[in-house]
Amino acid sequence: MNSMFKAIDTKLLFSRNDTSDPRLGELVKQLSSSNQIPEKSNVIIGYPDDEGIKLIGGREGAKEAPNKIRQILYKMTPDFNGPHSVKSIYDLGNLDTLEPLPTRHNTARQTVTEILDKQCRLLTLGGGHDYGYPDMAAFCKQTLQEKRIPFIINFDAHLDARPDINGENSGTSFYKLLNEFEKKIEFFEVGVQPWCNSSQHLDWVKEKGGHVITLIEYLSSGVSLCEFLNKKILKKITKKHRLALSVDMDCISSASGLGASQIFPIGFNANEFLMAWRQLVSKFKPKLVGIYEVSPPLDSDFQLTRLAAILAHQFFYS
């Protein structure tokens, strides 16, 4: 199975060779199979694949994101508030993209399942948001098998609820997820922008039991994103739930970075999103986080790529 994943270049594993200045690259252990991953460890996999974005007419370049995010992340230092909380990060590498897209999605789903079955905390790096489906489907199935309720929060300018009658793409991920797990999961889409979504898709998501919070609803509230999420979503999370987070980086305002598969002049700003993210990952300790649709070739000074790396860092160190 994991022969479909290729090891990353060891040049990404940054070190200053200075014991007084450790870097995350020094904590990374590369593995060739999910069978080698220890129980309850911290794991990263990458999807260097933007075919799903191309199929829907999005801006190309996300296939370069997993390694560029790693390059920045692995130069970062362990958090000085808890430098020993993460002693190792196991990197399984990047999905091979030679097989057809549906096969790649199946491989991703099976690999995520194998990793989550070991009670690991998993970070997936896209690539297109079409991988939100195999990631979250694996999470939902495993969580339901453990008699708990999957609770998914997707930060996104788009609903990604397009029918897949013409095949899979980066806009079909949650159409597929809600069809498979209708009324069995708690699903929230946050930051949806009304001018780039079909009202029919919106009605469909609600009919399937999903909850949609638009960017306008948040901006009109006059409160911080942390407070808004507490009032609208987080108070609903109980001990019977298990949390997973999905973020399409097009939910971030272009003022904070131009390097997403699609950009808008409004959206969440980097500072407010970071604080909300820290609240989510520190309080609820999600088992799965997926970060999608960063496009480094379009990213001036790699601003959005750096934000993605900071979110990844905080997943491990909040």
Domain count, the chain: 1
Contact 312, 291 (CB under 8 A): yes
Distance between CA atoms of residues 186 and 243, nearest Å? 9
Distance between CA atoms of residues 260 and 62, nearest Å? 8
Tracing tokens 């700003």 back to the chain, one arrives at 269
Residue 318: per-residue pLDDT:
85
> Residue 144 belongs to what H/E stretch?
helix 132-145
Distance between CA atoms of residues 144 and 150, nearest Å? 7
Q: Supply the range of the domain harboring residue 167.
A: 2-317
Residue 25: per-residue pLDDT:
96
Residue 246: per-residue pLDDT:
98
> What are the tens digits of pLDDT across the range 84-105?
568 789 999 999 999 999 999 9
Residue 82: per-residue pLDDT:
56
| pTM of this structure | 0.96
**110 backbone dihedrals φ, ψ, rounded to 5°:** -65, -40
Contact 37, 115 (CB under 8 A): yes
CATH number at residue 310: 3.40.800.10
Residue 163: per-residue pLDDT:
97
> What are the tens digits of pLDDT across the range 100-135?
999 999 999 999 999 999 999 999 999 999 999 999
Extract the residue ranges of the chain whose pLDDT is less than 50.
1, 83
Taking the CB of residue 214, how many other CB atoms lie within 10 A of it?
17
Residue 87: per-residue pLDDT:
79
